[in-house]
Amino acid sequence: MFKKDLKKRLFPFAVVSSIAVGGLIGALSTPTVEAQNNHRKVKNVIFMIPDGFSASYATNYRWYKGRESLLDSILVGMHRTYSANKEVTDSAAAGTAMATGVKTNNGMISTSPEGKELKTILEAAEEEGKASGLVATLTITHATPAAFASHVAARANETDIAPQLLKNGVDVILGGGKKYFPDSLLNKAKGKGYQYVSDREQLAAAKKTDKLIGLFAEKGLAPELDRDTTNQPSLAEMSEKALEVLNKDKDGFFLMIEGSQIDRAGHAHDAAWAMKDTEAFEAALAKVLEFAKKDKNTLVVVAGDHDTGGMSVGGYGKYDANVELLRNVAATGNFMAGKLNAGRSNVKEVVKQYANIDLTDEEAKRIKAVKKPDIAINEVISERALVGWTTSQHTGTDVPLYAFGPCSNLFSGLHNNTDLPQLMAQAMKIHFSPSK
């Protein structure tokens, strides 16, 4: 019965507040200003999605950081993530719900279970004359960004998604996925006025343009832990450039920014990767909140699309957590596994060098014996940090919802993920009517 009942059920509760970080939200601290902001028409919407992020990630990140995060200061509610055909969603169905206001089946991109194309909030904003942008740290054709500006029956069709992003006129496209943009497609984009950049320096130098494509890796970008081995921009740098370009449009803009790597870390049980990419996401959020505070007509909404990995805070039979250990980890488990020799006889040396951990003989034996040494390394580190995992896939738990700026009050309480684009449209006062 529950899955058939897709009607919105809201259970308002007191908004959790905390100390503002870095003074970024001090300007909105009084009830009078809050009331004024919550009735103002929103010009710009920035929707930030930390893929795979849940309350457990938020709590562990607070311990990892050693103080409250920017996210803590703008918490307003929670949202439910189930898809049309499963209690546990994938990123395609979750992205579709958050982009179109309609539940679909796992694997489908902004297409209803019956195969009908669904209008997205980005497309609705464009119809009102607003600029649009997509930023991600995996391929820009991956499930979440794809759901905002393309329509395919199967998320794996990334080759079909790439030209749709250009056809739909997305003004800023930044992320990975060069393999899905052949020269013929990029030349067509340049003919439409897009400037193309492919590394960090070129991105920083891109100034006089209102249409920008940046593709910084053949596939996904590197995890934040490993980014220093590349010439790729950070999520904060891509977000800042996207804001610079989109803000030129006098009618405003809609921008989706995804911290894609948090999800990848959860699948790999790599707690250090998860925390470091959450830190990178927070750095991007700081740029966004700085912009929104100055602009005063920008609504910022932050929501993970689902939980990944079933992370716990504490575990392994102990009433304790040791998350601060993760601050000393300097590489992902995948990177460390790539440094192992053929017989893995150097496993203790590698883990000591990159994780500052002295493996026991038993731990070293575990890593040597398994098919996937990267996962084994990650799980040993997680055990040391007392960060538990229940699955290598997603879970169906509710996910925190954050908002800042005018109309942020609309997001208070328990929502369904399908409510989010409708509330954004309401804030912008644009026509958007989700339908199957």
Q: Provide the β-strand partners of residue 197.
A: 214
Task: Say what the pLDDT of residue 297 is.
Answer: 97
Task: Say what the pLDDT of residue 339 is.
Answer: 98
- The answer to whether residues 355 and 329 touch, using CB atoms and an 8 Å cutoff, is yes
User: Cβ of 4: how many Cβ atoms within 10 Å?
Assistant: 6
Domains of the chain: 40-311+393-428 (3.40.720.10), 332-385 (no CATH)
Residue 17 among the catalytic residues: no
Task: Say what the pLDDT of residue 41 is.
Answer: 80
Catalytic residue among 91, 110, 408, 412: 91
Task: Say what the pLDDT of residue 207 is.
Answer: 87
Cα–Cα distance measured from residue 376 to residue 217, given in angstroms and rounded to the nearest whole number: 27
- The answer to whether residues 432 and 333 touch, using CB atoms and an 8 Å cutoff, is no
Task: Say what the pLDDT of residue 74 is.
Answer: 98
- The answer to whether residues 132 and 240 touch, using CB atoms and an 8 Å cutoff, is no
From residue 207, how far is each of 173, 203, 211, 249, 303 by CA, in Å?
Answer: 15, 9, 10, 15, 30
Residue 387 is classified by DSSP as B
Task: Say what the pLDDT of residue 5 is.
Answer: 39
CA 306 remoteness from chain centre: 10
10-residue stretch averages of pLDDT, the chain, 436 residues long: 34 30 38 51 96 98 98 98 98 98 98 96 97 98 98 95 96 98 97 97 95 98 96 98 98 98 98 98 98 97 98 95 97 98 98 98 98 98 98 98 98 98 97 80
pTM of the model: 0.91
- The answer to whether residues 299 and 405 touch, using CB atoms and an 8 Å cutoff, is yes
